[in-house]
């Protein structure tokens, strides 16, 4: 079976927990995900099956949107409620203060990943080092915050909600931590829901319970083919030379506007591609 699944991940599950569940439901081994979601987080987790696992990096590189809950006045070692509170502040912040500070975080910014993250340093995950009580210096990375809006803020409880549209590699926990620092207080994330990953929206996702019930009836319609998963315009390759170039990973002259496309050979879907400056480059071939 080859294809993609839009999973609405429940709270308390790791991304690998979801994969283990799907391996049982689908009775297959070759399954991968397109970007880790912490156990605290819920929402869109795109799962790739079979040959579609080649697409994981392509999907992971797309923009993502989140609804994030936070509280000001306390800092945890994980930057979220999964960790222990290690410091508190009595400073009170107004809604206007929060709204004004958000402007500093829109656009391209540098962000330091949290210690409790899956990034590897010298072959070891950062969270493994953190659990051993080891804290190391992390290099900042450039990320893009396309949209950042304050949806709610209660000045009495110091609790709020953010809408975030971000690039690959952005840690919302770190974003909230940094916002707290700029407000001269502390902050940590109390909830997170990923609402979009590229073309995938949470309202179209399937829960674990949905898929378990459908699987018992051998209804696997929650698996979408690669062809139907991407609403891209079609490009048909008619010349044998172009088809060979595409399959071998070479670029092809193409007059289409810069965008992503579905690629066909004689009406047969063979993969995806992207046109940049009149050159078509295949992402992956199926």
Q: Are residues 166 and 105 in the same domain?
A: yes
Backbone angles phi, psi at 106, to 5 degrees: -90, 145
- Residue among 104, 256, 262 at smallest CA distance from 183: 104
Q: Are residues 90 and 18 in the same domain?
A: no
Catalytic residue check, 38:
yes
Q: How much is the pLDDT for 52?
A: 86
Q: Are residues 262 and 220 in the same domain?
A: no
CATH code of the domain containing 277:
2.30.130.10
Q: Are residues 54 and 132 in the same domain?
A: no
Q: Are residues 144 and 261 in the same domain?
A: no
Question: What DSSP element (H or E) covers 15?
Answer: helix 15-26
| pTM greater than 0.85 | yes
Q: In what order do the strands lie in the sheet with 279-285?
A: 233-236, 259-265, 268-276, 279-285, 252-253
Q: Are residues 178 and 120 in the same domain?
A: yes
Going by their DSSP bridges, the two strands 107-111 and 279-285 should be labelled as: unpaired
Q: How much is the pLDDT for 184?
A: 97
Q: What is the pLDDT along the chain (286 residues), one digit of tens a residue?
A: 889 999 999 999 999 999 999 999 999 999 988 878 889 999 999 999 998 888 877 777 788 999 999 999 999 999 999 999 999 999 999 999 999 999 999 999 999 888 777 777 777 787 777 787 777 778 889 999 999 999 999 999 999 999 999 998 899 999 999 999 999 999 999 999 999 998 899 999 999 999 999 999 999 999 999 888 888 899 999 899 999 999 888 999 999 999 989 999 988 999 899 999 999 988 766 6
Q: How much is the pLDDT for 286?
A: 67
The domain in which residue 121 lies consists of 64-192
Counting every residue written for the chain, the total comes to 286
Of the residues 8, 17, 38, 97, only one is catalytic, namely 38
Give Cα 167 distance to the centre of its chain: 8
Q: Are residues 160 and 245 in the same domain?
A: no
Give percent helix, percent strand, percent coil of the chain, each to the nearest 5: 25, 40, 35
R_g over Cα of the chain: 21
Q: Are residues 41 and 106 in the same domain?
A: no
Q: Are residues 73 and 152 in the same domain?
A: yes
Torsion of CA 22, 25, 30, 35, to 10 degrees: -10
Q: Are residues 9 and 119 in the same domain?
A: no
- Residue among 209, 189, 154 at smallest CA distance from 74: 189
Compute the distance between CA of residue 26 and CA of residue 22 in angstroms, rounded to an integer. Answer: 6
Q: Are residues 77 and 185 in the same domain?
A: yes
Number of domains in the chain: 3
Query: Distance of CA 28 to CAs 1, 49, 260, 286, Å?
Result: 8, 9, 30, 19
Q: For residues 99 and 111, is the Cβ–Cβ distance under 8 A? A: no
Q: Are residues 77 and 159 in the same domain?
A: yes
Using a 10 angstrom Cβ sphere, with 0-12 exposed, 13-18 middle and 19 or more buried, the burial of residue 48 is: buried
Locate tokens 């569940």: which residue?
Answer: 21
- Residue among 136, 199, 208, 194 at smallest CA distance from 166: 194
Helix ranges (H only) for 28-137 are 56-60, 95-102, 126-131
Supply the DSSP symbol for 103: G
CATH code of the domain containing 150:
3.30.2350.10
């Amino acid at each position: 079976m080859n294809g993609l699944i839009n999973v609405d991940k429940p709270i308390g599950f790791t991304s690998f927990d979801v994969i283990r569940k799907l391996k049982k439901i689908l009775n297959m081994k070759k399954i991968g995900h397109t970007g880790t979601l912490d156990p605290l987080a819920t929402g869109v987790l795109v799962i790739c099956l079979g040959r579609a696992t080649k697409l994981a990096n392509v999907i992971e590189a797309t923009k993502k949107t989140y609804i994030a809950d936070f509280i000001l006045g306390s800092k945890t070692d994980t930057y979220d409620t999964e960790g222990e509170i290690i410091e508190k502040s009595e400073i009170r912040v107004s809604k206007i203060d929060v709204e004004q500070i958000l402007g500093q975080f829109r656009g391209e910014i540098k962000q330091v990943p949290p210690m409790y993250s899956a990034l590897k340093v010298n072959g070891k995950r950062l969270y493994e080092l953190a659990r051993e009580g080891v804290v190391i210096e992390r290099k900042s990375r450039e990320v893009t915050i396309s949209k950042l809006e304050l949806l709610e803020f209660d000045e009495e409880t110091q609790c709020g909600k953010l809408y975030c549209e971000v690039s690959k590699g952005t840690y919302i926990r770190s974003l909230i931590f940094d916002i707290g620092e700029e407000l001269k207080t502390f902050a940590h994330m109390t909830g997170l829901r990923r609402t979009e990953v590229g073309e995938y929206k949470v309202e179209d996702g399937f829960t674990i319970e949905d898929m378990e019930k459908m699987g018992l009836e051998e209804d696997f319609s929650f698996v979408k083919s690669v062809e139907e998963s991407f609403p891209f315009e079609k490009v048909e390759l008619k010349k044998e030379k172009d088809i060979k170039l595409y399959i071998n990973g070479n670029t092809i002259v193409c007059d289409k506007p810069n965008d992503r496309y579905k690629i066909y050979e004689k009406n047969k879907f063979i993969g995806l591609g992207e046109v940049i400056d009149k050159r078509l480059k295949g992402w992956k071939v199926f």
